[in-house]
Structure 1
Amino acid sequence: MILITGATGHLGKSVVDQLLTKTTPNKIAILARDAEKAKDFKAKGIDVRIGDFDNSNSLNEALKGIEKVLLISGVDPVNRLQQHKNVIDAAKLNGVKLIAYTSVTMENFSNSDNQFLMGSHFLTEDYIKESGLAFTFFRNNLYTDTILMFAGENPFETGITLPTAKGKVGFALRREIGEAIANDLLSNYNENKIYEITGSEAYSYADVASELSKLSGKTVTYTELESEDYKGILEKAGVPEHFIQVFTAFAADIKNNQHSKVTSDLEILLGRKPINFSSALKELYKL
């Protein structure tokens, strides 16, 4: 049986949806803190295990009889490393055969402006390796879906204003990453395998503006900002300080091509070419 953590989130739900197209519900379990939020999964015949990343006893119970665990990285930037360790410890205690983890791909983490947020990914990888469990790491590039956050939901009227310069990103659509992960979870173990999950090409936000212009027939501009000016805009918009730090750190890493990596791993796991960038933007912006 395969257990998915974070199944009520976007990526987790995508993985579960894809698993359901390829195997029977009785071979899938999910970890949930709230049974009410997981009722749709239960209605589909999926085994809902109640557990909390912060409660080791609940995790030990939830992982009984599980063969593989997909640990989708937690959303708590302060506590998630310890939360991940709790899941890994429970997996080891219960004799889980393989743990898969959704990590991040970067060109050079040591030079990242986003070390606080990203560091726990690589520390989690290290802890999994030290545990002796067989593992698969899905090092995901930035989702194409994040363009909606950074470029805005209506760039056709506002344009795109960011401090990302000519930096490029190997964007990959989240639902296709979910499909790729599901495919691999159902394959043979592929013990101690690391995938770098990216799109087929890398694009800058100027490229995003250009492509959206072509798709919409409207002129979408890209305006380069200094980082401090970007912070000022976010502050005036009432964005909380924590999120301002996150957005500016991501923007700085994009500017410095930390997320420009492109590999063929997504295509290999999908068994086909990923959706092209133009079609992905069309899907996201409903054009």
Structure 2
Amino acid sequence: MMLITGATGHLGTAVLRTLLQKTPASQLAALVRDEAKATDLQARGVHIRVGTYADPAALDRAMQGIEKVLLISGGGDDEALQHHFNVVDAAQRAGVQCLAYTSRALQNPATLTNQLMQRHFQTEDYIRASGLAFVLFRNSLYMDTLPLFTGLQVLETGIQLPAGQGRVAYALRHEMGEAIANVMLTGDCANRTYHFTGSAAYSFHDVAAALTAASGQPVNYTPAGQASFAAGMQQRGVPAVAIERTIGFLADIQNGQEAQVSTDLANALGRQPTNLTEGVKMLYEL
């Protein structure tokens, strides 16, 4: 049986959508915080295990009868790294045969500005040290985040971000979920690392050009300075920690951390992932 953690989140939902198309629901279990949010999964025959990454006893119960676990990385709270360790420890205690983890595709973890991303690689190290057979999915930045970066009024405002000429190999979250499910179903757990990225890396100039082509309205990208961008966020009432993380994210883009391109996603999907032009039409409803 396979356990998917974070099962009612965006990525977990995408993974389970593909799994349910390709394997019996009776072979699937879902770890959820709130059972009420999993009624649809339960109705389809998925085994529901209630618990959080912070509760080792609940994790031990969730691991009973499980052969494979997909650990979907937790949020940005201070305890998230320990929570990952809790899941790894529970999998080890349960004798799980394969542990998969959703990490990040970044060029050089040692030179990251956004220190929040370090926990992915610390989790990877902990998994390697556990002795468990593992699969690591190093995922690129979701294309789905573009409207968050540009704002939904981008056709009127254009794009002003402190990302310089940095490029990102965006891929759609649901395609990553599909690819993860495909790999989980193959039985391949030979301590492999997959880099799930788009088939090309794009700058925000490219994003602006794609928006222009899709909308028929001219959209321009103007690289902004970090200080002025942060001041604008502060004026809008954005919390200081959110400003710091956003600036760090964009600094890493500018420094080339997100530019890595791999064919792993295309290979796991059996087709080319959605490109920027088509993705923009979908995400901005153009």
TM-score by length of 1: 0.98
Residue 76 of structure 1, CA deviation: 3.4
Q: How far apart are the structure 1 equivalents of 2:166 and 2:52?
A: 38
Residue 188 of structure 1, CA deviation: 2.0
Q: How far apart are the structure 2 equivalents of 1:229 and 1:29?
A: 47
2:93 is aligned to 93
2:163 is aligned to 164
Q: How far apart are the structure 1 equivalents of 2:101 and 2:109?
A: 18
Q: How far apart are the structure 2 equivalents of 1:273 and 1:231?
A: 37
1:284 is aligned to 283
Q: How far apart are the structure 1 equivalents of 2:102 and 2:203?
A: 24
**Is it true that 1:226 corresponds to 2:225 in the alignment?**
yes
2:84 is aligned to 84
Q: How far apart are the structure 2 equivalents of 1:204 and 1:256?
A: 12
Residue 254 of structure 1, CA deviation: 0.5
Q: How far apart are the structure 1 equivalents of 2:109 and 2:76?
A: 20
Which whole-Å deviations, capped at 9, do the CAs of 1:164-208 have from their partners, x for residues lacking one? 010000111101000000000000223100011110000011110
Contact 2:109 2:121 in 1 (8 A): no
Matching of residues 128-139 of structure 1 within 5 Å: 128-139=127-138
Contact 2:98 2:189 in 1 (8 A): no
2:13 is aligned to 13
Residue 38 of structure 1, CA deviation: 1.5
Contact 2:92 2:132 in 1 (8 A): yes
Residue 251 of structure 1, CA deviation: 0.5
Matching of residues 36-75 of structure 1 within 5 Å: 36-75=36-75
Q: How far apart are the structure 2 equivalents of 1:129 and 1:217?
A: 50
2:143 is aligned to 144
SS at the partner of 2:45? coil
Q: How far apart are the structure 2 equivalents of 1:264 and 1:163?
A: 29
Runs of 4 or more above 4 Å deviation: none
- Counterpart amino acid of residue 232 in structure 2: I
Which whole-Å deviations, capped at 9, do the CAs of 1:37-69 have from their partners, x for residues lacking one? 221211111100011111101100111000100
1:247 is aligned to 246
1:175 is aligned to 174
Q: How far apart are the structure 2 equivalents of 1:92 and 1:78?
A: 24
SS at the partner of 1:157? helix
SS at the partner of 1:3? strand
Residue 159 of structure 1, CA deviation: 0.8
**Gaps in structure 1 of 5+ consecutive residues:** none
Q: How far apart are the structure 2 equivalents of 1:142 and 1:275?
A: 14
SS at the partner of 2:35? coil
Q: How far apart are the structure 2 equivalents of 1:166 and 1:272?
A: 29
RMSD: 0.9
Which stretch has the larger CA shift, 254-263 or 149-158? 149-158
Residue 246 of structure 1, CA deviation: 1.1
Q: How far apart are the structure 1 equivalents of 2:152 and 2:202?
A: 18
Q: How far apart are the structure 2 equivalents of 1:191 and 1:78?
A: 31
SS at the partner of 2:101? strand
Q: How far apart are the structure 2 equivalents of 1:25 and 1:223?
A: 49
Which whole-Å deviations, capped at 9, do the CAs of 1:244-264 have from their partners, x for residues lacking one? 111100010011111000010
2:33 is aligned to 33
- Counterpart amino acid of residue 262 in structure 1: V
Aligned length: 286
**Gaps in structure 2 of 5+ consecutive residues:** none
Residue 162 of structure 1, CA deviation: 0.2
Residue 236 of structure 1, CA deviation: 1.2
